[in-house]
Amino acid sequence: MRVLVTGGAGFVGNYVVRELLRAKHSVTVLDNLDPQVHAASGNGAQVPDGAVFYRGDLNDPEILLKVLKHADAVAHLGAVVGVGQSMYEVSYYTHNNVNATGRLYETIIKNKLAVKKIVVASSMSAYGEGLYRCTKCRKTIRGGMRSEAKFKKGSWELDCPVCKKPMTPVPIPETEPFAVSSIYALTKRDTEEIALMLGAAHNIPSVALRFFNIYGPGQSLSNPYTGVAAIFFSRVLNLKPPVVYEDGLQSRDFVHASDVARAVRLALESDVKGQVFNVGGGERVTIREIADTVLKVCGKEGAIKPQVTGQYRKGDIRHCFADTAKIKKALGWKTAVLLNDGFQELYYWAQKTSSVDRFDQASQELEHFNLLAKAK
Ligand SMILES: NC(=O)c1ccc[n+]([C@@H]2O[C@H](COP(=O)([O-])OP(=O)(O)OC[C@H]3O[C@@H](n4cnc5c(N)ncnc54)[C@H](O)[C@@H]3O)[C@@H](O)[C@H]2O)c1
Ligand SMILES: [Zn+2]
């Protein structure tokens, strides 16, 4: 296939391009080299050899038509990424994520292009809070937004709405509805809905992949708006403690970028359409564990301690991790990289890469906009 990869100069895009080239597809990349990602990393254009690169914006119909004309399929990864920042740089997020996805489909529709498959990148953030089980009530309950009053007391876990006892997080399947709590999440929900709605109406087979937290060599170590693993590495390599919000026992689901790239390829190659799939490690890892693992692989265990601040980010979720049964069954996908191995590899790479620690700037911005607060 001739595949257009939007955002192909980005972190995940690079893995997807290499994965597709390895499988003998031909690849064109469209990427505007957004300075927040590319200037920060200091390495300009980063498109793997073997792919044809066009520097351009997804919002530009002319360049879109040029690259789409010769495409059999599209992996649409181009987007701006960051939950906290999206709560004040609102139009930057809607423009690059929602409008851009609209433009992509519009260009195909208006020019009656023969694109046979589009895979769009969605995010676990579109779920909002995860799924829980109350063992006492024997019920599965979807978590809601935590109240400000609860945050203020430093009471972090979600309680059962019936018996008020703490609940146990369970994996979330794709059938759970959206409950977005950030503009970034909203743009990813819209990306999915635009793709599936227009895909069905105009017979452009489309699939949305809900990525969980992706990590791996190549991720921007200097972009403080995204990726807790990268932010922690950048702190520790600059000999500063990783800053952990809440009590550090909140959890997420981590998946290696090479596993994500394989999911994208399998979705592009399959006949599946009109479907959404979780792409996650399927395991719950606490943020404290992530901080400890980073310190351990950096050989700084004991020398540097994670700084648990008791601060919280407004609208942040407590637990969410993937149920991956659907993608395993439909696409035969499963993860290949274990977290410890992946982090070790990330460390070897990060050591050789310069990283500017801009975490303080990002957290000051959150404070400035009242998005970061402290429990009393
Ligand atoms: N990294 C994660 O943990 C994660 C998790 C869930 C979902 N995702 C999604 O995966 C995709 C890739 O994320 P990533 O981590 O590789 O991010 P990234 O920032 O490294 O890559 C995104 C790329 O898109 C490009 N881009 C942005 N706006 C564009 C525009 N208007 N026109 C053309 N190119 C544009 C950027 O220059 C960048 O190279 C995104 O859609 C993101 O929402 C990522
Ligand atoms: Zn209960």
Q: Which ligand is nearest to the Cα of residue 159, counting in written order?
A: 2
Residue 312 CA to ligand 1 center (angstroms) comes to: 25
pLDDT tens-digit profile of 320-374? 999 999 999 999 999 999 999 999 999 999 888 876 777 777 778 777 777 777 8
Mean local confidence (pLDDT), 125-144: 96
What pLDDT sits at residue 368?
Answer: 77
Q: Report the percent of the chain where pLDDT is more than 90.
A: 77
pLDDT at 36 over 80: yes
Closest ligand 1 atom, CA of 76?
41
Mean pLDDT, the chain, as a whole number? 93
**Distance from C-alpha of 287 to C-alpha of 13, rounded to nearest angstrom:** 25
Mean local confidence (pLDDT), 118-138: 97
Give the domains, in start order, of the chain with CATH numbers: 1-127+172-212+255-280+322-337 (3.40.50.720), 131-171 (no CATH), 217-252+283-311+338-376 (3.90.25.10)
What pLDDT sits at residue 225?
Answer: 62
Q: Determine which of 49-58, 193-202, 216-225, 234-243 has the lowest per-residue pLDDT on average.
A: 216-225
Mean local confidence (pLDDT), 90-110: 98
Q: Report the percent of the chain where pLDDT is more than 70.
A: 96
Residue 26 CA to ligand 2 center (angstroms) comes to: 53
What pLDDT sits at residue 125?
Answer: 95
What pLDDT sits at residue 40?
Answer: 59
Q: 185: which residues sit within 8 A by CB, 6+ positions away? A: 83, 86, 123, 125, 126, 128
- Phi and psi torsions of 372, nearest 5°: -125, 125
DSSP 8-state assignment for residue 171: P
Residue 278 CA to ligand 2 center (angstroms) comes to: 27
> Distances from the Cα of 361 to the Cαs of 138, 183, 241, 244, 306, in angstroms?
45, 20, 15, 16, 19
Residue 168 CA to ligand 2 center (angstroms) comes to: 10
Which residues approach ligand 1 with their CB closer than 6 A?
A: 6-7, 9-13, 30-34, 37, 57-59, 77-81, 96, 100, 121, 123, 188, 211, 213-214, 227
> Distances from the Cα of 177 to the Cαs of 128, 174, 328, 358, in angstroms?
9, 8, 21, 35
What pLDDT sits at residue 376?
Answer: 73
What pLDDT sits at residue 257?
Answer: 97
**Strand 131-134 relative to strand 139-142, pairing:** antiparallel
User: Which helix (H) or strand (E) covers residue 249, if one does?
Assistant: none
Contact criterion met (CB below 8 Å) for 145 and 128: yes
pLDDT at 27 over 70: yes
What pLDDT sits at residue 363?
Answer: 74
pLDDT tens-digit profile of 151-177? 888 899 999 999 999 999 999 999 999
